[in-house]
């Protein structure tokens, strides 16, 4: 049995770590981008970003004040026993968000969509949001994602239904055109981690895109050669655009392109893109049935990736 007191504390620690300590794959990708740059402005922008991220680890403050939507992904073992059940897990998560907000690890960003009312603790209708996946075993894995508003609100998240007749060309054109429009003025904080969901219903494609952007590590690849090729071709194409850091020019416009798919009705293929900020923030912990806790740098949300 995994005890309430323990999982509430582990979830809080996961939020704190996710908001303040950049994942090693993201930091390495930003450093590699800096090394590739030849323009002074782009090089300096990336260097300053990396320096600030390293300081956040020490200062224990958020990598970016826009900690955005608090989003949670749980991988729950089929044999896992959680004290108080799933409703207690959600209540504990809300408590952890409240505490993290009060302590300044999260900004009080979540507000009423019509009035702008600020509850001050990031808790409200449908927020935080939870996604569950059932896996073999008896452990509980939590991933926290700080989904920033820049990459979410300014065109980095798009949906289109592409005709099967338009094939991969239609999918790629939608992705490239959407990315260009979204980075017109750097609103989505490029270089981004770009997630793409193909197939399924609209909500499924959108979820796959979001999870591909937020949970897959930079440097991971889709195991299916067709999708891996699509990832690589789009990565090359988008990095040839010259969007660069914060949209003012440079060799790196995306840190990664991660594609996930679902079988679908081929009358129309849902294609969704979801951008994650250059400061792509996530934290993952596992609580095993014996009470030991493990910190993971890779949530492996999609099987081995």
Identity of the residue, 38 or 78, whose beta carbon is nearer to other proteins in the bound complex: 38
Between CA 58 and CA 37 the distance in angstroms is 27
Considering only CA atoms, give the Rg of the chain.
19
Min separation Cβ 84 and other proteins, Å? 31
Identity of the residue, 49 or 274, whose beta carbon is nearer to other proteins in the bound complex: 49
Min separation Cβ 273 and other proteins, Å? 15
Identity of the residue, 3 or 161, whose beta carbon is nearer to other proteins in the bound complex: 161
Long-range contacts of 173-176 (CB under 8 A, 24+ apart): 174/271, 174/273, 175/234, 175/238, 175/271, 175/273, 176/234, 176/237, 176/238, 176/241
- Across the chain, which distance is largest between two alpha carbons, in Å? 56
Of 287, 258, 266, residue with least CA distance to 197: 258
Cα 135–Cα 144–Cα 229 angle in degrees, nearest 5: 70
Identity of the residue, 84 or 186, whose beta carbon is nearer to other proteins in the bound complex: 186
Min separation Cβ 55 and other proteins, Å? 4
Residue with tokens 């990736």: 305
Between CA 159 and CA 205 the distance in angstroms is 8
Min separation Cβ 304 and other proteins, Å? 28
Min separation Cβ 172 and other proteins, Å? 5
Min separation Cβ 35 and other proteins, Å? 16
Q: Is the separation of the CB atoms in 237 and 171 below 8 Å?
A: no
Identity of the residue, 61 or 95, whose beta carbon is nearer to other proteins in the bound complex: 61
Identity of the residue, 58 or 87, whose beta carbon is nearer to other proteins in the bound complex: 58
Identity of the residue, 121 or 138, whose beta carbon is nearer to other proteins in the bound complex: 121
Min separation Cβ 26 and other proteins, Å? 12
Residue with tokens 């909500």: 203
Residues forming the site for other proteins (CB under 8 A): 41-42, 44-49, 51-52, 55-56, 59, 61-66, 104, 107-109, 111, 116, 118, 120, 149-150, 153-154, 161-163, 165-166, 169-170, 172-173, 176-177, 180, 183-187, 189, 233-234, 236-238, 240-243, 245-249, 267-268, 277-279
Identity of the residue, 30 or 71, whose beta carbon is nearer to other proteins in the bound complex: 30
Min separation Cβ 67 and other proteins, Å? 8
């Amino acid at each position: 049995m995994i005890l309430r007191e323990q999982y509430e504390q582990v979830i809080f620690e996961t939020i704190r770590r996710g908001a303040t300590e950049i994942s090693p794959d993201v930091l390495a990708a930003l450093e590699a981008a800096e090394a590739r740059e030849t323009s002074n402005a782009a090089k300096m922008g990336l260097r300053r970003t990396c320096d600030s991220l390293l300081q956040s680890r020490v200062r224990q403050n958020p990598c970016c004040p826009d900690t955005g939507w608090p989003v949670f992904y749980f991988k729950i073992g089929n044999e896992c026993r959680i004290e108080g059940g799933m409703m207690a897990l959600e209540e504990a998560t809300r408590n952890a968000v409240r505490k993290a907000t009060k302590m300044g690890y999260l900004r009080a960003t979540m507000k009423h969509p019509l009035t702008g009312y600020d509850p001050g603790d990031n808790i409200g209708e449908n927020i935080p949001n939870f996604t569950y996946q059932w896996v073999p075993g008896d452990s509980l894995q939590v991933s926290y994602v700080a989904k920033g508003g820049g990459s979410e609100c300014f065109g980095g998240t798009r949906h289109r239904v592409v005709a099967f007749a338009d094939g991969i060309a239609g999918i790629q054109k939608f992705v490239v055109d959407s990315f260009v429009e979204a980075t017109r003025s750097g609103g989505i904080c490029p270089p981004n981690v770009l997630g793409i969901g193909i197939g399924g219903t609209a909500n499924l494609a959108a979820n796959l895109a979001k999870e591909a952007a937020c949970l897959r590590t930079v440097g991971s690849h889709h195991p299916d050669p067709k999708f891996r090729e699509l990832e690589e071709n789009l990565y090359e194409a988008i990095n040839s655009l010259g969007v660069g850091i914060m949209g003012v020019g440079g060799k790196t416009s995306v840190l990664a392109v991660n594609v996930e798919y679902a079988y679908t009705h081929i009358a129309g293929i849902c294609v969704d893109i979801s951008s994650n900020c250059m400061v792509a923030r996530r934290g993952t912990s596992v609580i095993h049935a014996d009470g030991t806790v493990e910190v993971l740098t890779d949530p492996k949300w999609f099987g081995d990736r």
